[in-house]
Structure 1
Amino acid sequence: MATSVLDVRPPALTSISEPLPFFDGTTRLYICYLCPYAQRAWITRNCKGLQDKIELVPIDLTNRPSWYKEKVYPLNKVPSLEHNGKVLGESLDLIRYIDANFEGPSLFPSNPAKREFGELMISHVDTFTSGVYSSYKGDPVQQTSAAFDYLENALGKFDDGPFFLGQFSLADIAYVSFIERIQLVFSEFFEHDITAGRPKLATWIQEANKIEGYKQTKVDKEEYLEAFKIKFLA
């Protein structure tokens, strides 16, 4: 997997940042460092080895430049990808688009059984994340037990690697940025280890953390936990 290029994090653009030279032939991925949706596209870019092909453009979503909505992406959210004179959005669509339309190792297997299961896992991710997030106002440990058990069982489908489809793929990318944050929150605020009694999930997290293309995108722990407190625990 092409992940050896060091990814330097540029400063986030704000309301006082000058507009970029839009649609000048440069391919740009607009993200926010705290956003798990944007992180999906960032991971895909890195794992394809596209650091020199797709410019990373971080946006401060708490103080975003007005030109982003006006000139780049009318929905005014991240991620978005400026490519070939158009702008595309929606993270699950973007990871497929980047994988299919750029050079680098394929992040989705050709094996029909794996493709079918990969599509199933990707289609389930919104159900998983919304269920976990809605539990934060209740009893998260109890309410999310079945959701984590679902992942544990899914990780037993193929035995040729520690990931959902054996090898690291778009199915893992769909989940990993969310699991990263959920694990932090459960440990910090609910004093619970989501991998307890789930050895496959524990191995999945451990092995994902060895992948450079993902490691380079990981969220700042303290910054994220502070943002979480403001959003969910205020």
Structure 2
Amino acid sequence: MATAVQQSRPPPLTATSDPPPIFDGTTRLYISYLCPFAQRAWIARNYKGLQDKIELVPIDLQNRPDWYKEKVYPENKVPSLEHNGKVLGESLDLITYIDANFEGPSLVPTDLPKKEFAEQLISHLDTFIKQLYTSLKEDPIQGASIAFDYFENALGKFDDGPFFLGQFSWVDIAYVPFVERFHLVFSDLFKHDITEGRPKLAVWIEEVNKIDAYTQTRLDPKELVDIYKKRFLPQQ
């Protein structure tokens, strides 16, 4: 199993932090270390090998600087990408933008069957995420089983690799931050393994954890579980 070299993470900028020299020609990816949506763009940046070309700028969302909304991104959320004198947002759009506008391994397939299946999987994302978070308010294991059964059934369509489209792609990036979180949360809080009875999901998790571009973005498991305890299970 490949071992990721953990890159140093700059401290998040807060309300008292000065802004970087915005629109000085530097390409910047604004993220939050805790945000699964921002994690998507971060993984794409790493996978393309753009660590030296796209500067990572973490923001503390609980104490975010006013200048971020005023000078960088009026939507005041992450991720956003400062590139060529403009700022773009929305995590899925940023994955495809980074893939199309920077060198490095391709994340979006050109093969028509794979493109069509990718669009189908991406269109299901909101449903998948909603099912997972709703499950925390109901019967967690039963509620999330629909989401993970869909995931299991979607794997294996292509036989050239263990990922959704065979090879690692933007679809895996879109899903992995949420699988990461719920895999840990379900194991810790509910003593349930989401891969039980789902062998393709088990292999997918094993293989994605061999990709440094992803593992370099992972949260500390204890920190993640603590966040979910406080946010979704205040009684525990």
TM range (shorter): over 0.9
Contact 1:5 1:51 in 2 (8 A): no
Deviation (angstroms), 1:123: 1.4
Residue 55 of structure 1 pairs with residue 40 of structure 2: no
**Bigger CA drift: 108-117 or 218-227?**
218-227
The question of whether the paired residues in 1 share the 8 Å contact of 2:156 and 2:166 is answered with no
Q: Quick one: distance in 2 between partners of 1:54 and 1:211?
A: 19
Unmatched segments (≥5 aa) in structure 2: none
1:203 alignment partner AA? V
Q: Distance in 2 between matches of 1:142 and 1:23?
A: 49
| Residue 7 of structure 1: how far off its partner (Å) | 3.2
Q: Confirm whether residue 194 of structure 1 aligns to residue 194 of structure 2.
A: yes
Equivalents in 1 of 2:109, 2:19: separation in Å?
A: 39
Partner of 1:101: 101
Would the aligned equivalents of 1:7 and 1:51 in 2 still touch at CA under 8 Å?
no
Whole-angstrom CA distance in 1 between matches of 2:144 and 2:63: 33
- Match for residue 92 of structure 1? 92
**1:210 alignment partner in structure 2:** 210
Question: What is aligned with 2:137?
Answer: 137
Structure 1: 4+ residue segments shifted above 3 A: 4-7
Structure 2 CA distance, aligned partners of 1:6 and 1:151?
A: 29
Q: Could you list the per-position Cα deviations for residues 60-105 of structure 1 after superposition, in whole angstroms to 9, with x for gaps in the alignment? A: 1111111111111111110000011111111011111111111111
The corresponding residue for 2:66 is 66
1:1-234 matches, cutoff 5 A: 7-234=7-234
- 1:13/1:58 contact within 8 Å kept: yes
CA RMSD of aligned residues (A): 1.2
- Give aligned pairs, total: 231
CA shift for structure 1 position 126 = 1.3
Given the superposition, is the C-alpha separation of residues 5 and 197 from structure 1 closer, same or farther in structure 2, using an over 3 Å criterion?
closer
Separation (CA, whole Å) in 2 of partners of 1:99 and 1:193: 33
Distance in 1 (CA, whole Å) between partners of 2:202 and 2:59 is 32
Give CA deviations for 1:115-171 in whole Å, capped at 9, x if unaligned: 110111111111101111011011011112121111111102111100000000001
Quote the Cα distance in structure 2 between the aligned partners of 1:177 and 1:149: 17
Q: Using the TM superposition, give the Cα deviation of residue 6 of structure 1 relative to its aligned residue in structure 2, in angstroms.
A: 6.1
- Kindly tell me: are residues 13 and 72 of structure 1, through their superposed partners in 2, closer, same or farther at Cα, counting changes over 3 Å? same
Q: 8 Å contact 1:157–1:164 — kept in the other structure? A: yes
Partner secondary structure for residue 26 of structure 1: coil
**Distance between the aligned counterparts of 2:194 and 2:5, measured in 1?**
32
Q: Aligned partners of 2:69, 2:99: CA distance in 1, in Å?
A: 26
The answer to whether the Cα contact below 8 Å between 2:32 and 2:61 also exists between their aligned partners in 1 is yes
In the alignment, the residues of structure 2 paired with residue 11 and residue 109 of structure 1 have an alpha-carbon distance, to the nearest angstrom, of 35
Contact 1:81 1:88 in 2 (8 A): yes
Aligned-pair identity in percent equals 71
Letter in 2 for 1:50: L
Determine helix, strand or coil for the equivalent of 1:62. helix
Post-superposition CA distance 1:200-221 (Å, at most 9, x none): 0000000000001111011111
TM-score (norm 2): 0.95
Counterpart contact for 1:5–1:49, Cα < 8 Å = no
- Report the TM-score when normalising by structure 1: 0.96
CA distance in 2, matches of 1:77, 1:223: 21
Q: SS at 1:144's partner residue?
A: helix
- The runs of 5 or more residues in structure 1 that have no matched partner are none
